[in-house]
Chains A and B, each alone.
Chain A
Amino acid sequence: MNRSIRAEPAAVRLSGVVKRFGQGAPAVDRVDLQIAPGELVTLLGPSGCGKTTTLRMIAGLEDPTAGSIVIGDEDVTHLPAEKRDVTMVFQSYALFPHMNVRANVGYGLRVARRPRAEIADRVAEALDLVGLGDYADRSVDALSGGQQQRVALARALVMKPRVILFDEPLSNLDAKLRQHVRGEIRALQQRLGLTAVYVTHDQEEALAISDRVVVMNAGRIEQQGSPRELYARPATHFVADFIGSANSVPGHYDGQAIHLGNARIAHAQEIAPGPVSVIIRPEAVRIADDGLAARVVSVAFLGPVIQVTFATAVGAITANLPDDSREDLREGADVALAFGPRGVHLLAPVAS
């Protein structure tokens, strides 16, 4: 099916990239990032952390203040956008309102002066790929948000880019559609073997579609790794908090076990023995006969699970428990907590 749209994916390397707008803290601060051919990397982080700016520097829409950007084996640091083999799906889609769907998708090929027949073929194929084959002659403002989004996708795909960039491509869609489209994007990316950089501030979206997630904060990379890695072994409190939710309580590690209040939890991790900060995922908490003494503070029903907040000697701990109706889980009840081996992780203690 996809004869012609088969990109030759390229590796992307950012070394020491800095972007400064005027005075003050840089928007992007010494970012080093390597992306392998055919890999989908997500830039994840809170609003204003520099994700879009990083992406725009890869696209050539923003000139880095320092550092270098290499695509394939060409240094493109100061190459203007129109000379790079990179296309982008914009958050606002940026469809040309005075062109119909076909003209929008074919625009880049026309600019590149491809023969008419080739343009027609490739546009038709790209539209088929995103499932809009019947909409070629529609005006773009006569499309729904999801359809517009796919036109934008087709317009970027049809160029057979060596790198394709997405800037929060789903943020204008409603929640249900978002889940569906992100699956489609991922499938297409894998089928066509595209190198893709994907910006989002939705951690669930990032975990669901990425080969690798790069967590950014205040212009810097906090941590990067596979979704599993980031979830199981966050390097900082910021990452632990940003990816999923986490309890963070003070404890003491002796090389074999964690001492948490009156409880002792066997745990093996390469970290200096002594005071530590214990990261506990809510789903790792269990009610046990023996363990950390806790008192139920509040119970909330969330559907598949119940969320229970406990007060303990080391601080508040929130747990997601299966709703198997332990009648005694009422406010004020005294219980003991145990912690599953997965979902407990140690970090250096927060300096107080």
Chain B
Amino acid sequence: MTDLSFRGTGAMRLAGFTSPVVGWTLFAVACYLALPLARTGRAFLPLDYGLHPVVLGPALHWLVVVAAVAVTLVYGRPASSGPQVRRRADRALLAILVGVAGLGISLFAEAAPFGFGALGAFLGLAIAAGAALSEGNRVRGDAFTGAGIVLCLTFVTLFITYPLLMVLRSAVWVDGTLTLAQFAKTFSSPLFLFVSNRFTDVDEARQVALWAAAGTAAGTAFGLWQTRTTALPRRLVLVALWLVGGAIGGWAVGIMLWGRGALPSTLLVAVIVAPSATLLGFALALLGQRTNSRVVRGCLGVASVLPFITPPFVIGFSMIFLLGRRGLITYDILGISPFANPLYGIVGVSLSQILGLAPVAYLIMRGSLNSLNPALEEAATTLGASRWRVFRDVTWPLVRPGIAASLLLASIESISDFGTPLVLGGDRNFLATEVFLALTGRYSQSEASVYGVVLLLLVLLVFLASRWMLGVRGFATVTGKPASGAFLPLPRGLEWGLLALAGLWLAFILSLYGVIFYGSVVELWGINNTLTLRHYVEFRNTAWPVVWYTIQLSVASAIPAMMLGGLIAYLVTRHRFWGRSYLEMGSLLSFATPGTVMGLAYILAFNDGTLLMTSTSAIIVLALVFRNMPVAIRASMSGLAQIDRSLEEASATLKAGSGTTMVRVLAPLLIYPLLAGLIFAFVSAMTAVSQIIFLVSAGRNVATVLLLSRVERGDLGVAAAMASVLIVLLLALIVVLLIASRYLDARNRGKGLSI
């Protein structure tokens, strides 16, 4: 009897102790006891055991041990019923929170940079807390889900929300007081906005005022017309909104046309670039979808990949070769005087961005066009509509959501672009570059932050605008069974026009890339055209170590970006939990935030105190992980959307945990989206500039930043050699992967790798 009951409780005990809550708490305490709690300087290594918790003496962080003991005791008691299990988990959660609080408070009070001990302890406690949440039924799902939720929420808060809040704080918190002085100072600076130029005959301020007045009138009139059926009080509000919107719009047009400074330049370029890139992309997509020529389709496909593997400012840089003051076309062929060269400024930046963004627009529009049902167009023709009529009445209205998406993306990218204005901006300045110049040139964190806040607001505004555009009407396609049938061929004239456009575009792109390569093998571009390998030798001696380091960083960031992205996508699509929309918003934010602002945010957030990480490789990796994670989320989400839930449910009924299900069932099915996410993360890490330009330090330079500095210094030969190597390297990677995916496809007919 006694023997039996003893064995019974023993088994119970064992069951309690096998809970991940206990395991991870013990892991936390083991890290805490085995490793130093803090660091002396920036370096993570070597470990300094002078900062071991025992050496540091009694302090709040000892609560970690207390928490571990408490959790062990709580789980030592048997729990047989549901409520008992739940109570046990809640108590453990409380103990864990106490441990976390103790550790956190003591670390932040000391302001000592965290060490591996603290890192391990926090990680262990976070996972244990997640497990306890799930055991206590506070989140639906098993321990893996709970831990995943806690970790993702923590990461997003720590590496996206918190740094961005620091930007806001630094903009309004100057020298210890809450003030809008920095905003006032920046807004009145000619660098930001400059309207009245005394040296011109025109009264610019008057012109702007006229535009604003015209905008107000137009907005009001439109508001009145649009709300003609609305009841009065509501109508008043709506009309007032239209009035204000019209005034702002008119003023914006006014300053774009007559003003100078970062704000009008950025706006003007975005307004030029987004529609042009979208239209170009749409035209190319239309041609790509409907032309019979395989060659054209192949060329478009290849050309649409190029910008992704090219650092964003390299197109601008090669445009200097072609269209610059001593450019092949402008100087040698057209004979334009170097002083009359229009490239630097709005023209160059816009042209370069259009070329860089058209392929992005192409891919979006291609997707949008491919989702059309060809039978719709055929139906219109059988009803007597000519090709043009079909395009106007059917095709165009149905691809409008794609147009809106492309406009959104192109304007955000244009506003955020940092490298191109730096290379081609000339005497114009831009918001994204001002963030950089304010911080590194004028040493003003608060001014940089104000520019950062303005950029964020602009991006947000664009988001809302596109929401509004899309919100007008979304179409669910009405079809039973997808019909066969081919898309209508383009009208003859249009096809020839588009072919000419595409040919011009391709020729320009090719010469841009060709010119970089040519620049890398001649002594001095435009002056001394003797062939040489000098630049490549110099590249190997000085730049190759940097490229190699960049490759390592990119690999180190791509893998966590993909895993985290996959995890978040899984949690968000397959589970309902508190903080779910926060996770979605956070990742959207990190995607939409201009890179320079994120870089600034990381500097502000991780430059001192407990979270000190600047001047380490870790911060670059982290910046890249959270920058590129959203794309991995997107890729995994669209993959997950195609996988029927019943598969997971089947796995769950077989008693597999959700961790097992994810690894054994979902991951193999998601291999292509995940791989695409991984490649994208790697490639964008290799080509990133804006988000890490603040974060590089002596000995920790990355390829693109080095390349940018070479371009700025006028070392065009070496810069061209570097750019050529980077492009060829990434192109080779993509080609190898495409071939590999073909091979895999042939073996287990999955879905094609889409980048």
Write the A71-89 contact mask toward B (1 if CB under 8 angstroms, else 0): 0000000001111101110
A90 x B384 contact (CB < 8 A): no
- Cα(A97)–Cα(B379), bound, Å: 12
Decide yes or no whether B541 CB sits under 8 A from chain A: no
Contacts of B385 in A (CB 8 A): 82, 107-108, 111
A52-B484, A82-B386, A98-B473 as given contacts; A92 in contact with B381, CB under 8 Å: no
Any A CB within 8 A of the CB of B480: yes
Are A159 and B480 within 8 A (Cβ)? Answer: no
Q: Are A91 and B481 in contact (CB under 8 A)?
A: yes
Secondary structure at the B interface, as helix, strand, loop or mixed, is: loop
Shortest A348–chain B CB gap in Å is 37
- The answer on a CB contact under 8 Å between B384 and A112 is yes
| Interface residue? A70 (CB, 8 A) | no
Given contacts A87-B383, A97-B398, contact A141 B476 (CB under 8 A): yes
What residues of B have a CB within 8 angstroms of the CB of A111 in the complex?
A: 380, 383-385, 389, 393
On whether the beta carbons of B378 and A61 are closer than 8 Å, the reply is yes
Contact B478 A148 (CB under 8 A): yes
**Contact across chains for A97 and B477 when beta carbons are under 8 A apart:** yes
Whole-angstrom distance between the alpha carbons of A171 and B480 in the complex? 9
Query: In whole angstroms, how far apart are the Cα atoms of A98 and B400 in the complex?
Result: 11
Q: Mark B551-572, 1 if CB is under 8 A from A, else 0.
A: 0000000000000000000000
Shortest Cβ gap from B493 to chain A (Å): 15
Interface string of A85-121 (1 = CB under 8 A from B): 0111011111111100000000110011000000000
In the bound complex, residues from chain B placing their C-beta under 8 Å from that of A94 are 373, 375-376, 378-379, 479, 483
Report how far A221 CA is from B382 CA in the complex, Å: 26
Bin the interface of chain A by size. 35 or more
Q: Knowing A97-B476, A98-B397, A141-B476 touch, does A92 contact B386 (C-beta < 8 A)?
A: no
Does A145 belong to the interface (CB within 8 Å)?
A: yes
Asked if B394 lies at the interface with its beta carbon under 8 angstroms from chain A, I say: yes
With a CB–CB cut-off of 8 A, which chain A residues contact B225? none
CA–CA, A81 to B476, complex, Å?
27
| Most chain B CB inside 10 Å of its own CB: which residue of A107, A148, A155, A171 | A107
Interface residues of B in 20-49 (CB under 8 A from A): none
For the complex, give the distance between the alpha carbons of A93 and B485 in Å.
Answer: 13
| B contact residues around A93 at 8 Å (CB) | 478-480
Q: Which residues of A contact B482 (CB under 8 A)?
A: 92
Q: How far is the CA of A90 from the CA of B382 in the complex (A)?
A: 11
CA distance A94 to B483 in the complex (A): 9
The CA-CA distance from A52 to B486 in the complex, in Å, is 13
The proximity string for B residues 459-477 relative to A, scoring 1 for CB distances below 8 Å and 0 otherwise, is 0000000000000010111
In Å, the complex CA distance between A103 and B384 comes to 15
Q: Which of A80, A91, A98, A112 interacts with B483 by CB under 8 Å? A: A91
Q: Is A59 an interface residue (CB 8 A)?
A: yes
CB contacts (< 8 Å) of B479 on chain A: these are: 92-94
Q: How far is the CB of A319 from chain B (nearest CB, A)?
A: 37
With known contacts A61-B485, A92-B375, A107-B380, A140–B389 Cβ distance under 8 A: no
A-B contact count (CB 8 A): 99
Q: Give the size of the chain B interface in residues (CB under 8 angstroms).
A: 29
* Contact of A4 with B by CB under 8 A: no
Looking at B383, B385, B484, the one whose CB has the most chain A CB atoms below 10 A away is B383
- A179 at interface by CB-CB < 8 Å: no
Say yes or no for A262: interface residue by CB 8 A criterion: no
**Which residues of the partner chain B approach A91 to less than 8 Å between Cβ atoms?**
375, 480-481, 483
Known interface pairs A92-B375, A94-B373, A94-B375. Does A171 touch B384 (Cβ–Cβ under 8 Å)? no
Check A172 for interface membership: any CB of B closer than 8 A. yes
Residue in A82, A84, A107, A141 whose beta carbon sits within 8 Å of that of B478 in the complex: A141
The smallest beta-carbon distance between B381 and chain A, in angstroms, is 4
Q: Name, among A94, A95, A145, the residue most crowded by chain B CB atoms within 10 Å (CB to CB).
A: A94
Contact with B along A289-323 (1 / 0, CB 8 A): 00000000000000000000000000000000000
Which residues of A have CB within 8 Å of B373?
Answer: 92, 94
Chain B residues contacting A96 (CB-CB under 8 Å) are: 376, 379-380, 393-394
A140: chain B residues at CB < 8 Å are: 478
Contact partners of B380 in chain A: CB under 8 A: 96, 107, 111
Give complex CA distance A96, B476 in Å: 11
- Residues of B near A86 (CB, < 8 A) are 382
Whether A81 touches B477, Cβ cut-off 8 Å, given contacts A94-B373, A96-B376, A96-B394, is no
Check A107–B484 contact: CB distance below 8 A: no
Q: Which one of A56, A107, A171 lies within 8 Å of B481 (CB-CB)?
A: A171
Residue-wise interface mask of A (133-166) relative to B, using a CB-CB cutoff of 8 A (1 in contact, 0 not): 0000000110001001000000110010000000
Residue of A nearest to B380 (CB): A107
Q: Are B383 and A107 in contact (CB under 8 A)?
A: yes
Contact check, B384 vs A95: say whether CB atoms are below 8 A apart. Answer: no
Q: Which chain A positions have C-beta within 8 A of B397?
A: 98
Q: Is there an interface contact between B378 and A90, defined as CB atoms closer than 8 Å?
A: yes
Q: Would A59 and B477 be within 8 Å (CB), given that A90-B375, A111-B389 are in contact?
A: no
The residue on B at minimum CB distance from A53 is B484
Cβ-defined contact, A107 with B393, below 8 A? yes
CB <8 Å contact, A81 and B480: no
A90 touches B483 (CB 8 A): yes
Identify which of residues 375-422 in chain B touch chain A, using a CB-to-CB cut-off of 8 Å: 375-376, 378-386, 389, 393-394, 397-398
- Report yes or no: B381 in contact with A108, Cβ–Cβ below 8 A: no
B476-533: which residues lie under 8 A (CB-CB) from chain A? 476-485
Contact between B481 and A95, CB atoms less than 8 A apart: no
Given A96-B394, A141-B478, check contact A82 B484 (CB 8 Å).
no
* Docked-complex contact B473 and A108, CB < 8 angstroms: no
CB distance from A62 to the nearest CB of B (A): 9
In angstroms, how far is the closest chain A Cβ from the Cβ of B372? 10
**Chain A residue at minimal CB-CB distance from B480:** A172
Given contacts A98-B473, A148-B478, contact A155 B483 (CB under 8 A): no
A-B contact pairs, 16 of them (CB 8 A): A61-B381, A81-B381, A82-B383, A90-B378, A90-B483, A91-B375, A91-B483, A93-B478, A94-B376, A94-B379, A97-B476, A97-B477, A108-B383, A111-B380, A155-B383, A172-B481
